[in-house]
Amino acid sequence: MTVLEQLTSGDAIALENKYGAHNYHPLPVVLTRGKGVHVWDVEGKKYYDFLSAYSAVNQGHCHPEIVNAMTEQAQELTLTSRAFYNDKLGQYEKFACELFGFDKLLPMNTGAEAVETALKITRKWAYEVKGIDENEAEIVVCENNFHGRTTTIISFSNDATARENFGPYTKGFIKIEYDNIEALEDVLKNNSNIAGFLVEPIQGEAGVYVPSDGYLAKAKALCEQYNVLFIADEVQTGIARTGRLLATCGNCSCKNKMCSGTPDVKPDVLILGKALSGGAYPVSAVLANDNIMNVIRPGNHGSTFGGNPIAATVAIAALKVIQEENLAENAHKLGELFREELNKYIENSSVVKLVRGKGLLNAIVINDDEKSNKAWDVCLALRDNGLLAKPTHGNIIRFAPPLVMTEEQLLDCVSIIVSTLKEFE
């Protein structure tokens, strides 16, 4: 077996630049190993990971329970396609449905695929159950959303970089302001062709915007009033990231005490991905009850890899880690501590305006405009000081470490972040 040669950081970056499509702008660090909350570059330098692969690695890098489940299954059976049954998919579907409180699960691979799946289910439900005339269904979305980059999804994005020169765009979407319940009520009241409302419980890519208290519960109530499906994209906010099993958590079966007393905002359609596999394998899913999911029949939708034995086995292991290690509770506790400690610095800072977030999904806003390079420069300095994070929207830095982080490690990271920011005062 050929062993890949060990490259320097410069060599690895040069190879990607020459042979890879330039569809990302990575921070200049080349990683080769990860364990828990840490990653190492090819020269052996150790870093705290404060991005977690955009919340895919909530359970920490290379969690042994997840890796063992994956490798053991990979030696037994990897893929059958859905032309045949396999002995793992049904067990996974049952486990996830009981955990999240739904009747059925439709397995896919990536977050964008799951969003596309949810949109198709919603439209089919609109025509066959709600009675909207065919091809007239519309779905309400929020400005500054991020649900992926497929042609349909960018059609309702207002990110110019994602949209420009990729038209023509898919019709059937109405954009409203995020966290504006009056705007949602107005569009539902004045349009009988609305099939669903697609929303991120927290807008992560937009800069970790947390909606006002009660927004999601009021939105769900309006959807019920107007017979519209409430579709929650929890690809990034789900699986314990925000301090609960789901950001919309209200009546799942996780029995996490952080969920008690929270509004009951159960989506009609739930979209999951990323940490559903702990970052070990591409796994995503759409969950809904029978009255919605039963509109999908053989041949309507599918994926060669969706629901394969490795994916099913890995997802069960990843969800069990969340439960058994109380990662939602840890995210809640450490998130409170993180914002409290950073606010002590921000009170007298000229560099940072504010910190916001929920659980261990947080962001700081740099005191500059979106066209500035200051946030990027701060992230380069953080890298030099042993912590990896990435800007979003120019002047915002997102902080989302693995949920297995300890309080001691978190305080060490706060110290790195604060001392780095002081370099820019």
Catalytically annotated residues? 146, 233, 274
SS3 109: coil
- Phi/psi at 362 (5° precision): -135, 165
Q: Nearest CA to 414 among 321, 304, 340?
A: 340
Residue type, 165: N
Q: Give dist(CA 37, CA 155) in Å, integer.
A: 36
Residue located via tokens 């992560």: 204
Cα radius of gyration (the chain)? 21
Residue 175 · residue 321 · CB < 8 Å: no
Q: Nearest CA to 147 among 198, 183, 87?
A: 198
Q: Give dist(CA 396, CA 398) in Å, integer.
A: 6
Residue 322 · residue 328 · CB < 8 Å: yes
Q: Nearest CA to 238 among 323, 328, 321?
A: 328
* Token couple for 199: 């929303």
Q: Give dist(CA 123, CA 82) in Å, integer.
A: 24
Which residues make beta-bridge pairs with 365? 354, 396
Strands (E), 4-98: 31-35, 38-41, 46-49
Residue located via tokens 């049954």: 85
Identify the burial level of 45 via C-beta atoms within 10 angstroms of its C-beta, where 0-12 means exposed, 13-18 middle and 19 or more buried: middle
Q: Nearest CA to 286 among 298, 273, 295?
A: 273
Q: Give dist(CA 307, CA 71) in Å, integer.
A: 17
